Structures are given as C-alpha cells and as structure tokens.
A = this chain, B = another copy of it.
Amino acid sequence: MKKTRILTPGPVMVPEDVLLEMARPIEHHRTAWFRDLFKQNHQLLQYLFQTKSQVITITGSGTAAAEAAIVGCCPEGHKALVVVNGKFAERWTKVCEKFNIDHTDLPIEWGHGATAADITKALDADPKIDTVICVHSETSAAAVSDIEGIGKVTRDRGAILIVDGITSVGVLPVKMDDWGVDAYITGSQKAMMLPPGLGFVAISERAWERIDSGKTPALYNDLKAYRKSLENWDVPYTPAVTLIRGLLVALKGFKERGIENIWHEASTMAKATRAATEAMGLKVFAKDPADSVTAMLLPDTIDEGALRKTMRAQHGFQIAGGQGHLKGKIIRFSHMGYLDSFDILGAIAALELTLIGQGHKVEPGAGLTAAQKVFAEAAAK
C-alpha cells in the first residue's frame, strides 16, 4: 500500500470538503450568487490577515499578487529596499529590475531573517528609501524575519512595508494592522490549503494613497481595478470560480478552528520536526527557523536525490529539496496545508527508514520519540 502524502512547502494537501466543493457544477460569476460568495470570502480573508483593510483576490499565483503590490506601491520617484535572504526574495528584486523600480538590495545570509536593526541601519544609510520589501517566511531557506519589529521601524520612518506572506499568512502569527504592514501578500496553495491559482494581497490605507499617487505599469495586475470591482463584491476579470468556492470552505475552517490555535499547532509541528531532525543526526539549517517549513541539512554521506526518490517512490511522501546553492544539501518539510501531527510523525518515520537504507546511523524510533515528546508536552498543557 502506498498512500500519497504531500509535505512540500506548497502545493499542499487539500481537505476533502474543499475538494468536494470544487467538484460541484460550474456557476456563472456575473451573478448575485458570486457576489454573495465573494463578500463572505472577503470578511474571512480580513480575519486571516487580521486586518480591516481591503484584501484583493487575483486569479494567478502568489507571484502575480506580489508583483501587483510592488508595481503599485513603487511608482516613479520612490525607492525600495529589498531584503534578500533567499530564492523568493531574489524574485522581488527581479520585479524591481523588470519595472525599472529604483531599489537597493539588503543581502542577508540564507537561513537568517531580517531584524528591525537591519532595516534601521539600511534606512539610515540611504534616506531616499521609502519602501521596504521583505519576505516574512523565506521558504527556500526556511527562515523567518521579524515583521512586527520591522513594522515599527517603517511606521516611524513613514516608509511603506510590503511583506511576502506567501508561506506565513494562515500558519505563522500575522497581525497586519497591529504591526503596521501596508501590503501583505499570499497565495492559495500554501497555508490556505487550496490548490494553486489564487493570489491575495491586503492593502492598507497608506498603501492605497501611494498607489493612487502615481501610474501603475500594469493592467491585469493593477490593484485599482480590483478595488473598484470589490466595491460591488466583484472582480474585474474572469475569476477561477471553483477555487473561489473552495476558498469559502477553507476560510470557514480557519474561523472554526480559530487562527491562534492554527498558529499554535503549526508551531508545535515545527518544534517536533526540529527535535526529530537533531535526534536523527541531521541539522536544522536555519538559524532563525520559520514554523511554516523546516529545512534539514544533510551530511555529505547522504544522496539527497536518492533520498527524496525513496521517500516518494517507496513511502509516498513528497518533500522538497534545496534551491540555488542549497540544492542537494537540504531537504524541506512543510508544516502547512491539510496536515496534522500524525502526518508529521509519518514523514519522520519514512525519513528514518530512508536514512537507514542509505547507511546513515539512526536508531529506529529516535526521531519519532523526539517529536512525540514535543506533542506530548503540548497535549499536557
């Protein structure tokens, strides 16, 4: 028997009730039915982002939503600081290049997150910077940045803060309004437990002012068109209707479970995975580890390609490898999606068997026991 279990940091497993909802017959989107659906979604999206601001839904990937936020918030005459600590951060630099946005990179070693002090220093060094672009959870290096701290700095300085929350919204604590984030971005195929196909960006009043102050070099990704449609609970271009149906079921699930509980569960799964990593004789790669994804550094004796192939072909577990210079050196386990502690234990069990098969010294049950101790502690509270 081989069941498929997806532990990649996107796409993720989708709950059965969401899958069934999306299998229902197609309905037209220029209808009162759609507007009602979209309105309900919007209220629940605000809960997810912990904001009173408008949340824009774009049919596209998280990259589309991020590009829309960056090009909208950086019209001519403004300058952006891009924190670069991984593969996804690099992509936002590329957006700036493509659209000729004046910007400076702030390189940070992969595995580390950005701190308030890092941002203060960079802003002090270049007074022209009035926009900060930062990835909350950098998926490639499994590291987390201090968005709360950075938000204090950007508020103090009157700068706009754009945060890539693609692997944070719905899994890590995200408090858009409290933290003063101006554009918070995410995608459907991560913590939201949906298939890929929808991007989201929540926009603060300050960010809308910035967007309205200049020309946006985009049509499909021009947020102003989405804002106008949203006034009637509508969208400017044909939306992915089945995904938007599934979205409501997924968002209702978040509300029922309670967002703080969700954050706590992910944090426990991450803690258990990190404990198991060390117990199996591997190392946690990130110095500032994110609770949405764990990167494990493999010893040189382990063939990462063969390991992932065995995990998938023999045990049915899909996990991620490394990107960029980490290719072949790390493996990554997601803590997002339709995933619980028992899936995490299963993945650890499969990893133990795979490591043993490759001649790595690990006692069967060592990783499992380390993880289970964390779950037992959490259950006792």
Query: Which A residues contact B (CB, under 8 angstroms)?
Result: 1-3, 5, 257, 262, 265, 315-316, 338-343, 345-346, 349-350, 352-353, 356-357, 364-366, 368-373, 375-376, 379-380
Contact = CB atoms under 8 A, between A and B. Distances in A.
A81 B316 CA distance: 46
Given A1-B257, A257-B1, A365-B368, A353 B376 contact: yes
A371 B345 CA distance: 13
B345 A1 contact: no
B338 A342 contact: no
A370 B369 CA distance: 11
Contacts of A364: 369, 372-373, 375-376
A349 B356 contact: no
Contacts of A338: 1, 3
A370 B352 CA distance: 14
A30 B4 CA distance: 37
17 contacts: A3-B340, A5-B342, A315-B342, A343-B346, A345-B346, A345-B368, A346-B346, A352-B376, A356-B376, A357-B379, A364-B373, A364-B375, A365-B370, A365-B371, A365-B373, A368-B368, A368-B369
A148 to B, nearest CB: 25
Contact of A353 (B346, B349, B379): B379
3 tightest Cβ-Cβ pairs between the two chains A and B:
A365-B369, A342-B346, A364-B376
Nearest to A5: B342
Contacts of A346: 342-343, 345-346
Nearest to A279: B365
B379 A372 contact: no
A268 B46 CA distance: 49
A17 B143 CA distance: 37
A341 to B, nearest CB: 7
Contacts of A342: 3, 5, 315, 343, 345-346, 349-350
Given A364-B372, A365-B372, A369-B365, A345 B349 contact: yes
A380 B354 CA distance: 10
Contacts of A345: 342, 345-346, 349, 368
A353 B338 CA distance: 21
A255 B36 CA distance: 49
A211 to B, nearest CB: 36
Given A1-B257, A265-B1, A365-B365, A372 B349 contact: yes
A341 B1 CA distance: 9
A350 B353 CA distance: 21
A108 to B, nearest CB: 32
Contacts of A341: 349
Contacts of A316: 340
Q: Pick from A262, A265, A352, A365 the residue with the most CB of B within 10 Å.
A: A365
Nearest to A366: B369
Nearest to A269: B1
Nearest to A265: B1
Nearest to A20: B23
A316 B357 CA distance: 32
Nearest to A370: B365
Nearest to A369: B365
A265 B3 CA distance: 14
Contacts of A5: 342
A23 to B, nearest CB: 8
Nearest to A262: B1
A173 B375 CA distance: 37
